[in-house]
Chains A and B, each alone.
Chain A
Amino acid sequence: KAGVTQTPRYLIKTRGQQVTLSCSPISGHRSVSWYQQTPGQGLQFLFEYFSETQRNKGNFPGRFSGRQFSNSRSEMNVSTLELGDSALYLCASSPGGLNEKLFFGSGTQLSVL
């Protein structure tokens, strides 16, 4: 069974631009969640989707948004990029329940110049 796939692996953008990241979950998994990882801040929860609906949201500004498609694939969008948005963005999938093991992707490394 293929693991969680994230594309692209690396992105370089400039301030003010917008970016879209993609995540394909493990086949059969219906929940996808997104995290921002920066040195010293650990893993910060962005949002979680289940069956195309946002189930939970972290404490990030409205510039961060996401969606989930009927095939459970998910995208995350960041508009009006700031230097502080430079980070590794990880997505994770799980079968669908709340308290289940998360399977992480390798992440998208975003650099904002």
Chain B
Amino acid sequence: GENVEQHPSTLSVQEGDSAVIKCTYSDSASNYFPWYKQELGKRPQLIIDIRSNVGEKKDQRIAVTLNKTAKHFSLHITETQPEDSAVYFCAARDDKIIFGKGTRLHILP
């Protein structure tokens, strides 16, 4: 079955710097790759997603890249702000959705 590996598990960056979170997946049939953000004590919320026919997608300070050949995709957050502090989950979906174990992002003042 599908397996999604996410790295790093914890990431600390200075406010204003960029953050990158990487995920790899095992099932080449996966065709949908969403990213969810979960703030402390709150429910996960979709921040960006990408489909397998697209290599890159950007939404303001957030971008996601997908390399189908290597079976990995990454989340890039530029000009980080305190409100970016949260746990981020990547996921891959073919017939069912499988999440990575999450990355706890700390934005340092």
Contacts and interface: CB of A to CB of B under 8 A. Distances in A.
Interface of A: 33, 35, 40-45, 48, 56-59, 90, 98-99, 101-102, 104-107
B65 to A, nearest CB: 18
B93 A104 contact: no
Nearest first, the 8 A-B pairs at minimum CB distance are A99-B32, A42-B101, A56-B96, A104-B43, A43-B99, A42-B102, A101-B46, A104-B44
Given A90-B44, A102-B34, 16 more contacts: A33-B97, A40-B101, A41-B101, A42-B99, A45-B96, A45-B99, A48-B96, A56-B95, A58-B96, A99-B49, A99-B93, A101-B46, A101-B49, A104-B43, A104-B44, A106-B43
A98 B30 CA distance: 11
Contacts of A33: 97
A96 B98 CA distance: 18
A109 to B, nearest CB: 11
Contacts of B42: 106
7 contacts: A42-B102, A56-B95, A98-B32, A98-B95, A102-B97, A104-B43, A106-B42
Contacts of A99: 31-32, 49, 51, 93
Interface of B: 1, 6, 31-32, 34, 36, 42-46, 49, 51, 89, 91, 93, 95-102
Contacts of B31: 99
A43 B44 contact: yes
A19 to B, nearest CB: 20
Contacts of B51: 99
A90 B43 contact: yes
Contacts of B32: 98-99
Nearest to B6: A42
Contacts of A35: 99
A43 B89 contact: yes
Contacts of B1: 59
Nearest to B97: A45
Nearest to B93: A99
